[in-house]
Amino acid sequence: MVFVKSIGRAVKALARGPSTLQYPEDRESIADNYRGIHKLDMKTCISCGACARICPNQTITMVDVETEKGTKKMPEVNLERCLFCDLCEEVCPTKCLILSKDYSFEKYDRREYVLRPEDLK
């Protein structure tokens, strides 16, 4: 009897089709509260450093960036250390640093996880 039930479950599972997606062509739908890669609006950043100070994992560091108005300090994010806790977005007074819905940040080299301000567009 147990054997028949097991065969029945297996047949139902086969009838449903595959349970995996053909990534990256097919992408899973994400929840509204999902937090992905950081995005930075370099024009509205006021170089206050609040994001770097509040980060619990010291993921964000302020680095010098050349802009048309001169050198400014802007956030550099190390995705390897990031908890995606959203504190940096909450504390940003100009809302120039946000966490997007983008979750495709696989890399071949660990150094590629450190995103300079120019890479956060």
pLDDT digits 0-9 by tens, 80-108:
999 999 999 999 999 999 999 887 777 88
Tell me the Cα Rg of the chain: 21
Select from 23, 36, 5, 24 the least CA-distant residue to 98: 36
Other residues' Cβ atoms within 10 Å of the Cβ of residue 59:
22
Select from 58, 48, 59 the least CA-distant residue to 95: 48
Distances (CA, A) of 66 to 29, 43, 74, 111, 117: 38, 12, 10, 22, 10
pLDDT tens for 26-69 read: 767 777 888 889 999 999 999 999 999 999 999 999 999 998 88
The amino acid present at 103, given as its one-letter code, is Y
Domain spanning 31-120: CATH 1.10.10.10: no
| The pLDDT value given to residue 21 | 66
Q: Contact, 100 vs 121, CB < 8 A?
A: no
pLDDT category of residue 23 using cuts at 50, 70 and 90: low
